Amino acid sequence: MKILFGVQGTGNGHISRSRELVKKLKQDGHDVQVIISGRKEEELREIEVFTPYKVLKGFTLVTRRGRMNYIETLFQLDFVSLWADVLTLDTDGVDLVITDFEPVTSMVARVKGIDSVGFGHQYAFPFHIPMERGNLLEKYTLLNFAPARYNAGLHWSHFDQPIFPPVIPETLYRTARLVEDSQKILVYLPFEEVEDIVAFLSPFDAYRFFIYGKVTEDRDDGHLSFRSYSREGFLRDLMECAGVVCNAGFELPGEALHIGKKLLLRPLDGQIEQESNALAMVELDYGMAMHYLDGDILREWLLRPPGKPLNYARSVDYIAEWIASGRWDDLRTFTDAAWNDHRSAGEV
């Protein structure tokens, strides 16, 4: 099958999960061509698996100090460039478009009448799952930013809906669980300013915090260790740490739950997906949430016991099987199989 695969480049989570599915589809013999949008090519890291790929402008969501900025987002939208990319993109022989919340490929599928699959956490929201009320603009953006005909949604629980478990990097299945350092905490708060994170963590000098996000070089400052982006280093710190403090995106919390790390989420203000993720995390009793950098909540969370591994199934195997089957209306058969595998692997 010839597949056009769109990846939203603004978040490392989109790249992480798409990397796993693209790799699997290629292994299964599909011809996969990748479009990445939303970030400049020189800012992208570890995307070789997507070759052949093309980087387009797309759309970017603008944030300021931990909050969505819809005004700046609207001002930077370039519809002329978007439509030019849609109309000129070569889709000759394409059988299926898969979009991981990527708007160019989503629009290409609609304009050119090609079947499309939405792959990712955002495509779980059309189903009945925990969701904050938000406002009309937030809900519309979430559901219509990059729509598809069929939805391969992901979540940390199935909520009795036809959605898949999280996509976990192959490394976290192959690598034996390392001995945890009870004082080591992984911090990933890319929407916060570094000086705010330092002020938040400095009082807790009994712990060692490994901080990723807006950090350009590795350095240690007492109990605060700053780390620039490295997928290998990040996964190593994730496996060794006792817990994770992060924004309420989807991929990192899913990886942490898979290997049994306790979680403290700080959702991006005004971003309904992240606020809904924080709600779901608390409802499931999988972790805690805070709506600003709250030292009192951090203190309480640090004293909580470690988590238990949820051992998620390899979702990409079931998603790839569903895609290859062509039975795209028969989603439940494949999602049920994935969750049954999850339970047999040790669901708690």
Q: Is residue 200 within 8 Å of 214, Cβ to Cβ? A: no
Say how far apart CA 257 and CA 249 lie, in whole Å. 13
Least confident of 48-57, 64-73, 288-297: 64-73
Average pLDDT over residues 307-325: 95
Q: Is 36 helix (H, G, I), strand (E, B) or coil?
A: strand
Read off the DSSP letter of residue 165: P
Instruction: Report the pLDDT value the prediction gives residue 80, as an integer from 0 to 100.
Output: 78
Could you give the percent of the chain with pLDDT greater than 90?
Answer: 70
Q: Is residue 308 domain-resident?
A: no
Residue with the two structure tokens 């898949």: 164
What's the angle, vertex CA 312, arms to CA 233 and CA 144, rounded to 5?
A: 85
Q: Is residue 156 domain-resident?
A: yes
Q: Is residue 307 domain-resident?
A: no
Same domain, 294 and 176: yes
Same domain, 83 and 179: no
Average pLDDT over residues 120-126: 96
Instruction: Report the pLDDT value the prediction gives residue 216, as an integer from 0 to 100.
Output: 86
Q: Is residue 293 domain-resident?
A: yes
Q: Is residue 3 within 8 Å of 97, Cβ to Cβ? A: yes
Same domain, 54 and 175: no
Say how far apart CA 255 and CA 221 lie, in whole Å. 27
Say how far apart CA 130 and CA 178 lie, in whole Å. 33
Say how far apart CA 169 and CA 235 lie, in whole Å. 9
Instruction: Report the pLDDT value the prediction gives residue 72, as an integer from 0 to 100.
Output: 63
Tokens of 67: 């909050």
Same domain, 122 and 136: yes
Same domain, 292 and 338: no
Instruction: Report the pLDDT value the prediction gives residue 10, as an integer from 0 to 100.
Output: 81
Say how far apart CA 300 and CA 123 lie, in whole Å. 33
Q: Is residue 53 domain-resident?
A: yes
Instruction: Report the pLDDT value the prediction gives residue 12, as an integer from 0 to 100.
Output: 79
Instruction: Report the pLDDT value the prediction gives residue 13, as an integer from 0 to 100.
Output: 84
Say how far apart CA 215 and CA 103 lie, in whole Å. 28
Q: What is the pLDDT confidence band of residue 346, given thresholds at 50, 70 and 90?
A: very low
Average pLDDT over residues 164-169: 95
Q: Residues 251-307: pLDDT tens digits?
A: 999 999 999 999 999 998 888 999 999 999 999 999 999 999 999 999 999 999 988
Give the residue numbers spanning the domain of 255.
171-302
Determine phi and psi for 96, rounding to 5 degrees.
-155, 140
Q: Is residue 263 domain-resident?
A: yes
Mean pLDDT of the chain: 90
- Is residue 136 scored above 80 in pLDDT? no
Q: Residues 168-187: pLDDT tens digits?
A: 988 888 665 566 899 999 99
Q: Is residue 89 domain-resident?
A: yes
Same domain, 285 and 321: no
Instruction: Report the pLDDT value the prediction gives residue 66, as an integer from 0 to 100.
Output: 52
Domains in the chain, number: 2
Could you give the percent of the chain with pLDDT greater than 70?
Answer: 91
Q: Is residue 105 domain-resident?
A: yes
Distance, first Cα to last Cα, the chain: 37
Q: Is 174 helix (H, G, I), strand (E, B) or coil?
A: helix
Q: Residues 215-235: pLDDT tens digits?
A: 889 999 999 999 998 888 999
315 to 120, 135, 214, 287, 311: CA distances (angstroms)? 11, 32, 30, 22, 11
- Is residue 211 scored above 50 in pLDDT? yes
Q: What is the pLDDT confidence band of residue 330, given thresholds at 50, 70 and 90?
A: very high
Same domain, 119 and 40: yes
Same domain, 230 and 216: yes
Same domain, 280 and 298: yes
Same domain, 142 and 278: no
Same domain, 82 and 15: yes
Average pLDDT over residues 75-92: 82
Where would I find the H helices in 28-157?
Answer: 70-76, 79-88, 103-112, 136-144
Q: What is the pLDDT confidence band of residue 122, given thresholds at 50, 70 and 90?
A: very high
Instruction: Report the pLDDT value the prediction gives residue 63, as an integer from 0 to 100.
Output: 60
Same domain, 181 and 317: no
Q: Is 14 helix (H, G, I), strand (E, B) or coil?
A: helix
Q: Is residue 263 within 8 Å of 205, Cβ to Cβ? A: no
Q: At what angle do helices 12-27 and 251-259 cross, to 10 degrees?
A: 70
Q: Is residue 320 within 8 Å of 24, Cβ to Cβ? A: yes
**What is the CATH number for 248?**
3.40.50.2000
